Chain A
Amino acid sequence: DAKTTQPNSMESNEEEPVHLPCNHSTISGTDYIHWYRQLPSQGPEYVIHGLTSNVNNRMASLAIAEDRKSSTLILHRATLRDAAVYYCGTNFGNEKLTFGTGTRLTIIP
């Protein structure tokens, strides 16, 4: 199982882009990279996932390093509702997700 490491916390100003990093140096060639976010007293919410190529969806973008040992979740224009704990995780196919300890994102109005 690929271990992921993330900064404990980050701050960003409202309406500015946010780049959340994740290291997964032991990832295997067939593991997917996932990002979820979690609000207090709620279950994690899916944000985005990818394998090798960068991915975009309505919530965010995922930039994957060429060697796949790291990735960055990009929130293009942070809002107060984006304040949450963001978890980076990996899995093989549809199997279990292995999460890190997450980054607590604070948005400054």
Chain B
Amino acid sequence: DTGVSQNPRHKITKRGQNVTFRCDPISEHNRLYWYRQTLGQGPEFLTYFQNEAQLEKSRLLSDRFSAERPKGSFSTLEIQRTEQGDSAMYLCASSLGGRRNEQFFGPGTRLTVL
């Protein structure tokens, strides 16, 4: 069990550029979640997958955001035409599902949009 990994850890981009983040969950975890966290706030839910199916998307997830989990393993979160308001920590978490309800978070990707 190597934990949830996220890449890159930091990303600085200019407004209007597209960015893509990757999350590798704990193996055998069928649930994968994306959250966003801004300074001084708790994590806010963005979307989650059970295997490859995207089950829920938050209203925070505008049309510029898209997430995939093509083979039910790793996931990507893409932001198109980034805006300064997108600057935040993007967190990925995974869980085993069933009665094992706890979510295990990765270290996050810190996005700065200039």
The tally of CB-CB contacts under 8 A between chains A and B is 58
Q: Are B45 and A97 in contact, with the CB atoms below 8 A?
A: yes
Stretch at the interface among A39-47, A64-72, A76-84: A39-47
Say yes or no for B72: interface residue by CB 8 A criterion.
Answer: no
CA distance A91 to B101 in the complex (A): 9
Using C-beta atoms within 8 Å of the partner chain, give the interface range for chain A.
20 to 34
Given contacts A91-B101, A94-B31, A94-B98, contact A101 B45 (CB under 8 A): no
0 or 1 for each of A70-109: is its CB under 8 Å from B? (1 = yes): 0000000000000000010101011111111110000000
10 inter-chain pairs at a CB distance below 8 angstroms, sorted by A residue, are A32-B101, A42-B108, A44-B93, A46-B104, A94-B97, A96-B45, A96-B48, A97-B43, A97-B45, A102-B42
Beyond A44-B105, A97-B33, list 19 extra A-B contacts (CB 8 Å).
A34-B101, A36-B105, A43-B105, A43-B107, A44-B93, A46-B102, A46-B103, A46-B105, A91-B101, A94-B31, A94-B98, A94-B101, A95-B48, A95-B56, A96-B58, A97-B43, A97-B103, A101-B41, A102-B42
Question: Chain A residues in contact with chain B, CB under 8 A?
Answer: 32, 34, 36, 41-46, 49, 87, 89, 91, 93-102
